[in-house]
Amino acid sequence: MKIAVLSESPADEAAIRIIVEGLLGSPTEVAPTLPRGRDYGWPAVLRIAKNVVNHVYYRTDADGLVISVDSDDSPVHRESEDRSACDAKCRICQLRTGIASSLQELRAIPGRTKLLTAIGLAVPSLEAWYRCGVDPHVSEATWIHALRDQKFPFDRSRLKLQVYGDDRPSLVLATNRATEIARQLASRLNDLEILFPNGFGALARDVRGWRSDA
């Protein structure tokens, strides 16, 4: 299977690809570079998502597109909520709405299969996933309580420091460390799904659903 990955940094995209391979249980091929230039971060991902869908469908032979972003301080997605009643600030809901609209506008191409998509939300950042199995206090539940009470036992800067040894790591350092940890996580994704049932769980369910949608 060939997949394209859109996230907030090249380091994140490299790690997400490894995690998706773990969910699929098989290696994936890398789709051609996405049309984004140097534009990264959540606002950029939301802004270019439609163009990326069009590019992947019309200009590549990728089977699937994976999009994963950080929640930062935005609401944590609740997977049990009615998808027709999205939280206006929920990043998964925003992406799902935009992607669904984009997919409906794609014209059929002879020989081209429909584009599979998967969307995930790292709470509060991908570095929290990297702490799975290392720090039991880092979880979606802990972050939800922290947002409610405005008392934070950890934050994004502290997570970066714990993962990389630097709260502003270079791209090389971040990529090397992220891919190293992603390979470890790929063998224990059930733990990741237990600790991050909504954000990672959404990604996992989408990817696993590809088997029936393909």
Distances (CA, A) of 79 to 7, 135, 194: 20, 24, 13
Q: Residue 18's domain spans which residues?
A: 2-213
Q: Which of 8-12, 76-80, 82-86 has the lowest mean pLDDT?
A: 82-86
pLDDT of amino acid 40: 81
pLDDT of amino acid 184: 95
CA–CA separation, 54 and 38 (whole Å): 19
Q: Domain count of the chain?
A: 1
pLDDT (tens digit per residue) in 122-141: 999 999 999 998 998 999 99
- Overall average pLDDT of the 3-20 stretch: 95
- Overall average pLDDT of the 90-109 stretch: 94
pLDDT (tens digit per residue) in 190-214: 999 999 999 999 999 999 999 766 5
3-class DSSP state of 122 = strand
Would the pTM of this model clear 0.75, i.e. be above it?
A: yes
pLDDT (tens digit per residue) in 143-152: 999 999 999 9
